[in-house]
Chains A and B, each alone.
Chain A
Amino acid sequence: MIQTNVNDLTIQAATVNGSGSQTANLVLTRAIFHMGIPVAPKNVFPSNIEGLPTWYQLRITPEGHMARSDKVDVLIAFNVATWKEDLKTVRPGGVVIHEDAFSTADARTDVTYYPVPFAKLAKAKIQSDTLRKQLANMIYVGVVAGVLGIPWEALEHGVKRQFLAKPKAVQVNLDAIKVGFDYWQDNFSKQDHYHLEPMTGVVEGKVLVEGNQAAALGALMGGVTVVAWYPITPSSSLCEYVIAYADRFRENGDGEKKISVVQAEDELAAVGMAIGAGWAGARAMTSTSGPGISLMAEFSGLAYYAEVPVVIFDIQRIGPSTGLPTRTSQADLGFVYTLSHGDTKHLVLLPGSVEECYEFGRDAFDYSDRFQTPVFVLSDLDLGMNLWMTPAFKYPEKPFDRGKVLGKDDLEKLAGEWARYRDVDGDGVTYRTLPGTDHPAAGYFTRGSGHDESARYTEGADAYARNMDRLARKLETARHALPAPVIDEAGRKVGLIAFGSTHAAVVEARESIDVDYLRVRALPLSDDVVEFIARHEHVYVVEQNRDGQLFDLVRLALPPQLVDRVRSIRHYNGQPIPAAAIVEPLKQQEMIPA
């Protein structure tokens, strides 16, 4: 009955926030990854500095599935407050490593227990009073290593990699791991069927990167020089990575910095500074999340209407209002697309992997300069703050695209004959000059009020309508230039449409349901979406929000006869969508037996 389970399990560590458990979890993750085994970590953390429960899920699959698992194979129970509930989540036949002091009076009988006196061990074996609490977590790393067969060499690598900047910490952490490892060796014999074995074929050439790290690197490679931000979870780490990377790569030997990162007084100022910098010719960005994006609405409309380049990262969390500040969602899509009053519409990039967080984080600056408009990069907490296995990023081969900017020489050639908002090329994209351009015809007046082709104030009806029509034309030009959908199609009857971090769950779901797949990567929607739907009997739009926001946008783009083909699958509890949340409703609706 018991069958050996190799490299296919989900570990869940239930710990206390602020106790140092994240470091232990990352060491475990890196050690297993070092064995050549694919890992997919998800950190479920509270909006709290210290004391509330937190969970770390480490999913391990030989295929390299990246979506969240809804099953737990190995529970590390370290938090007495959630112990009873945590125990219920373990799959029958699973493993429970728990603090020996926790009551097992009414515990389940269908799991294997490895009770460990963590507190006593920490007290007896860890000499440093100040580090004891943190290092106690490392003891469970040692126990897990014993249970699953993680070689010592992999643990060493995990610790060294984790403490790259603090080599002094390596030995004390290894010592703590050894305490757990030895305790397991001395006190238990293997009772369960889970094993980890070194493997090859999937992780070679891959790295572990958070989406916010990737976006920060992308922004630097995209040439950002002005970053204005206001701290907010889950976007803060993006700007903090920019700061860290800029300290390393943007500083001259003499202390000069080729970037300015400003912690603004609020999100209004943050986006305002970025827009001011974009107007003056720098590549500028801000990064925020839910409440912050609401505050940026007015300025976003100004940048749209006055046609100022700026890149705005929205690392989505779940709302409305403060919502669950540390939980994920894709519910800003509709709001961001038309952010601000009036007929405002924006370019929105939708990265579906950390690699795309890097690429879109970089190319957003090109799109923004080229179309002289805000470009939103819509990531989310799951993508942004969790580590994802990814191929190493590619070095960009193309130079910056700074768009239609007239310099002094251009103006001389034109004998000063230009107008800021005149559509010379018929694509809706007009020519701009930067402040500081040494030519008497360079100056113009930028405003959020009504303006004519020469940027003069007007309340004229025709001039207003003409300008708005041109802006629509510009958006149409951009629509064809933005990243096209990725389509994987083989003439099946049913199709799936998804975007962003939902991608990981779709990839996995498609192993158990035979469907075609289109992944949207930008708004406004590509014509490919309509055509894809036209080729299928049913198309399911899968997304992580309550109201089916992409579903709505897709239906709006369709001719009436296609509207009924589209159906909606939604997941919105703050947890990253698992594959089962796609497979089950789809099978039900398509009447495929489970």
Chain B
Amino acid sequence: MTAATARRDFPRAYGKVGSLHRERLWALRLSYTSLIVAAIIFLAPPVYMLMTSLKTNAEMADQTLSPWLVRSPTLEHYGATLENPLFLGFFANSAIVTLLVVSITMVISVLAAFALSRMRFWGSQTLATGVFLTYLVPDTLLFIPLYQIVGGLGLLNSIWGLVLVYPTLTVPFCTWIMIGYFASIPKELDEAALIDGASWPQMLLKIFIPVALPGIIAATIFAFTVSWAAFVYPTAFITRPEEMPLTIGVVSQLVRGDTFAWGQIMAGALLAALPPVVVYVFLMDYYIAGLTAGATKG
């Protein structure tokens, strides 16, 4: 007690006995250190890929050189990759599948979330929980029974099989995000709209979707990422190179015989990672706002 009083009385002693300023400084040092370590861990693989993709085949094979430095940079692998009709096919397949999956996912999950969060009907709570539980089943467990189903429908070795199957991964999570987001919209807003004369579809289109736009963008980015980066399902369902998406095409088709074309693989993988990076850069703020809104406002 007396020590505290003394400190208050003699501000000059602050520096010696510890102060807010000093504590903040330590907190900042600690945060920067952890952030730098995390950044190194996450950035090392892509940087390694970038370095490798810029090396000539000879430089790559030279064991005496550092793998992290490029001596004579070349874009030959990028050129070869972009001229490879197979690679362009992979890219088109990924784009078609992703576009369709995102569209299907958003239509289903916005409608489902609106119904589950706003319309009270028998079993709506159980259904909402059920939606989330399906998300907890990993795709590594599901691909065997799904193989039977997709095969039964004659959609093996076709991107349409992927368009059918990916929503099982994206719809539950997106619905869950949207339920949380819709729940954070005050109930009086729909009541005001009801009294103003809006029907349920009008309420969804004119009030809920515009107000929940950050949540919808977050869900869209999630669906985009999942279907762009899906690996297990295409590995299981697709063996024909013309139907492959980027994720498996790059690692399986850019191998000649038993020779790995590392330069092209790395260039292809980096090019494949470009669209998600672009999407994230532009929509990152919405994504974070959308994911946290339900938690803080609800």
Are A and B bound to each other?
A: no
